[in-house]
Structure 1
Amino acid sequence: MPKVKDVCRHVRSKNAGPFWVTFDLFFDGAENFRKYAESPALGPPLFERLFGADPAFVQRYPVESLNMVKISYARTEPQGGMVERDMHRGQQYVRLLDVELD
């Protein structure tokens, strides 16, 4: 099974305001976008397991013209809390790289 890092040319995570985090997965072409943009492996259960996100607040936005998918989830705590270790969430994407897609 291919992993995210095998079919995406760029993956990033970032702050989407004080209450949301977003991931951008830029696929390496239209074929892989069509195959994997709607993969169940990238669904709410993954974000619940990896980030503690409430599955009801995980949203997926495919952008076909860019061969990318944006996946956002509501933070469990607002940005800037006492125990915040990555305030801008710029390092969170690493956990997605080895996710196997189906």
Structure 2
Amino acid sequence: MATLLDYCSLVRSKNAGPFTLTFDFMCHDEQAYQALVATGFLNRQLFAGLYDTDPEKILLVNHPLACAVKVSLPRPTVQGNLHDTDCYAGQQYAPLMDMDVTPV
């Protein structure tokens, strides 16, 4: 089984303003980046299912020169809301870490 850490040296989530959650996947090198993108693992349907949002509202951008993938989507709860359990969105990447990264 392969995980994101087999491809990435950095996986993080954070706020991109109070209404947007963003994820950064920075690969070890160009070969790891190409292999990760080829799996199709990072896709709108994955994030829509995990974060209960419309796939059409998800922005997924591949950055080949940076060997990175960026994903942005509406925050499940507005930052600072009474029901916001992760004010800085720094833990939102956690559900992705143990998933099997297999070609779709």
Say yes or no: TM over 0.5.
yes
Superposition TM-score tier, normalisation by shorter sequence: 0.7 to 0.9
- Conserved 8 A contact 2:48-2:55: yes
- Structure 1 residue 99: deviation in Å? 2.5
Q: For structure 2, list consecutive stretches of 5 or more residues without a partner in the other structure.
A: none
Which has the higher mean CA deviation after the structures are superposed, 27-36 or 75-84? 75-84
Letter of the structure 1 residue corresponding to residue 48 of structure 2 = E
The count of corresponding residues between Structure 1 and Structure 2 is 102
Structure 2 residue matching 1:42: 3-state secondary structure? coil
The Cα offsets for residues 76-100 of structure 1, whole Å up to 9 and x where unpaired, read as 3322211100011001111111222
Question: What does 1:1-102 align with in structure 2 at a 5 Å threshold?
Answer: 1-37=1-37, 39-101=39-101, 102=103
Q: For structure 1, list consecutive stretches of 5 or more residues without a partner in the other structure.
A: none
Q: What is the distance in 2 between the residues matched to 1:36 and 1:6?
A: 9
In angstroms, what is the RMSD of aligned CA positions? 1.5
- Moved >3 Å (runs of 4+): none
Aligned identity (percent) is 33
- Structure 1 residue 40: deviation in Å? 2.7
- Conserved 8 A contact 2:14-2:90: yes
- Please give the TM-score of this superposition, normalised by the length of structure 2: 0.86
